[in-house]
Structure 1
Amino acid sequence: MFRYFLNNHACTIAAVVLSTTSVAHAADIKFGFAAPLTGPQSHYGEEMQNGLILAIEEANQKGVKIGGKPAKFSLVSRDDQADPRIAVQVAQQLVDQDVSGILGHFNSGTTIPASRVYHDAGLPQIAMATSPEYTKQGYETTFRMMTSDTQQGAAVGKFLVQKLNAKKVAIIDDRTAYGQGLADEVDKAVKAAGGQVVRREYTTDKANDFTSILTNIKGTAPDAIFYGGLDAQSGPMKRQLVTLGIKAPLVSGEMTRSDTFIKLAGDAADGTYASLAGVPLEKMAEGKVFEQRYQARFKKAPGVYTPYAYDGAWNMISAMEKADSADPAKYLPELAKLSRRGATSEHIAYDKNGDLKEISVTIYEVKGGKWEMVETMVSQAN
């Protein structure tokens, strides 16, 4: 009896110790992340990843509690190489890693096919992708980090006709989901504003010689040329445009609004316009504070997409906090009705499709080899 009591007493003590230890242990919560981390678009993936890392590190330092335990957040990263086929493979790998949510992908062309994998697995996804098709699929799991191209394209088309006085506009796109989607929206907006699309040309996101396309466009004497695509193409395109003696300004989207474009375009970069979903860092709700924290952590300035990725991570973390759970089925409703002040905006919230309710678009121009803000447009979606 005495031995039995001691053994039971020992078991009781052990159980108490184990129970106490389990309460003290952190709840391990993994986020999946995918973007181009190698190749010509790797700089986009890196600046996005850094924003996520900063948010996760801050959440861990803050001691965010989920399910009564201090959460230990981590990031499982995969390189989708900006390739839709690889993106689907990567998506399944992340699902198999038992992640609690997805922060990515970057490109619209990779995000859209991957989103089907995440939806089938019931995983909430907050992506950088700006193509309107991403959130038009009817998936309750899809959310954005930035303004969609439907909203951005409308602003750019209006800017072309009303501010640049471009009544005749030529349009080129790279046939990617991003490039074509944005170009289509600009096409509609130019016509709605009273302008005319005098020619539509197509290229690819691997091309570097645009002489034939630009020669065809030159014959239509456009007032402006819009390009939907990446900086890897818009840079050499601007150089060739100048070489051919075309005076019409080149206007493009946020993928052109980069230091890479300026490097590739060289002396020809000046006079180029680019739209960017969002507002300049210095005009963001917590832009200056965010920049200081980022500089301290990474010893360099944040990229264009960095603060939006940062807010995307905090949006998901905040939803988990509100639900007191990392179970996707439990925190997904909280993500859908999210309302918070972030680094990029004082009013972060989603509509029924997962698009941001606040529409913000900024137009930039290259002057003296540097991007300078021309104007910012902020409104609320209907």
Structure 2
Amino acid sequence: LWNTFRTCGRDDQQGGVAGKYLADKFADAKIAIIDDKTPYGQGLAEETKKAYNAAGKKEVVREGVNTGDKDFSALIAKMKEAGVSIIYWGGLHTEAGLIIRQAKDQGLKATLVSGDGIVSNELASIAGDAVEGTLNTFGPDPTLIPENKALVEKFKAAGFNPEAYTLYSYAAVQLIAEGIKAAGSADDAEAVAKALHEKGPFKTVLGEIAFDAKGDPKLPGYVMYEWKKGPDGKYSYFQQGS
């Protein structure tokens, strides 16, 4: 679509990174791939499965659950029987938190690995202490970019932690402004879109962004995050190696 741009990657890019990570880091693990049957969750799970299978690996459980489900006892029993030690989840933090907590309660010792759909500190509220060690892919953390330090502090001073997609949304507004500036008009949407396609890269809080013909950004790839206690004693997700 001529007027559509994004500041994050696609399922196939994220799933490709996740599938390779699972194959490389958990080479001997028995893996379950579960999704929430939504376009996002199922799409991400399928792309992860595709990359995992391409690496010569095969999952032992492949299931879908419904958004809004609260009881995952039958699924967890199935995974226990299959000897699952890694659960790949395609979906959001709400069901992920329940799966993590119920798996621990039912004695399934498995690490949950997921995507950007779980990057909300609400995950820890749902999963409790069982969230520790959970892994997820996401873009490199823009709050770690030194040039963003003052902006991050400004958000926090206003009582808001700029987690997850906050700075991605901020970058989207920056790009609209840059596109208008480059086009020399705020009234001609096609000219603004053309400028965004042709006149980048543009400076944003995510770094410099240029767009391809589809409006996808040329950004650094996805990286892995781990959930653990931060300096404040609360669980959150931290970029590995940071």
Please report the TM-score for the alignment, with normalisation by the length of structure 2.
0.90
Secondary structure of 1:196's aligned partner: coil
Secondary structure of 1:341's aligned partner: strand
CA displacement 1:223-253 (0-9 Å, x = unmatched): 3110111111111110111122111211111
CA displacement 1:59-118 (0-9 Å, x = unmatched): xxxxxxxxxxxxxxxxxxxxxxxxxxxxxxxxxxxxxxxxxxxxxxxxxxxxxxxxxxxx
Name the count of aligned residue pairs.
235
How far apart, in 1, do the equivalents of 2:241 and 2:2 lie? 34
How far apart, in 1, do the equivalents of 2:137 and 2:94 lie? 16
Partner of 2:232: none
How far apart, in 1, do the equivalents of 2:66 and 2:110 lie? 22
RMSD (Å), alpha carbons: 1.8
**Partners of 2:45 and 2:88 within 8 A in 1:** yes
**Does 1:348 pair with 2:216?**
no
Secondary structure of 2:191's aligned partner: helix
Within 5 Å, give how 1:28-43 maps onto structure 2.
none
**Partners of 1:242 and 1:268 within 8 A in 2:** yes
**Partners of 1:157 and 1:190 within 8 A in 2:** yes
Letter matched to residue 315 of structure 1: L
Partner of 1:171: 33
CA displacement 1:253-311 (0-9 Å, x = unmatched): 112122100010012111211111x1123433633132023234x32221211100000
Secondary structure of 2:192's aligned partner: helix
Identity of counterpart residues, as a percentage?
Answer: 34
Structure number with greater CO (CA < 8 Å, separation at least 6) is 2
1:330–1:371: structure 2 CA closer, same or farther, 3 Å change rule? closer
Partner of 2:5: 143
Q: Which has the higher strand share?
A: 1
Within 5 Å, give how 1:242-321 maps onto structure 2.
242-276=104-138, 278-284=139-145, 286-296=147-157, 298-321=158-181
**Partners of 2:32 and 2:60 within 8 A in 1:** yes
**Does 1:366 pair with 2:232?**
no
How far apart, in 2, do the equivalents of 1:285 and 1:342 lie? 13
Letter matched to residue 215 of structure 1: A
Secondary structure of 1:358's aligned partner: coil
Structure 1 residue 360, shift from structure 2 partner: 2.4
Structure 1 residue 205, shift from structure 2 partner: 1.9
Structure 1 residue 195, shift from structure 2 partner: 1.8
1:219–1:158: structure 2 CA closer, same or farther, 3 Å change rule? same
How far apart, in 1, do the equivalents of 2:16 and 2:189 lie? 34
Partner of 1:180: 42
How far apart, in 1, do the equivalents of 2:50 and 2:8 lie? 21
**Structure 1 gap segments, 5+ residues each:** 1-138, 377-382
How far apart, in 1, do the equivalents of 2:75 and 2:219 lie? 37
Partner of 1:233: 95
Letter matched to residue 361 of structure 1: Y
How far apart, in 2, do the equivalents of 1:331 and 1:181 lie? 31
Given candidates 54, 60, 63, the residue that maps to 1:201 is 63
**Does 1:336 pair with 2:197?**
yes
Structure 1 residue 217, shift from structure 2 partner: 2.1
Secondary structure of 1:367's aligned partner: strand
1:164–1:257: structure 2 CA closer, same or farther, 3 Å change rule? farther
Given candidates 218, 222, 227, the residue that maps to 1:357 is 218
Higher CA-based Rg:
1
Letter matched to residue 362 of structure 1: V
Secondary structure of 1:147's aligned partner: coil
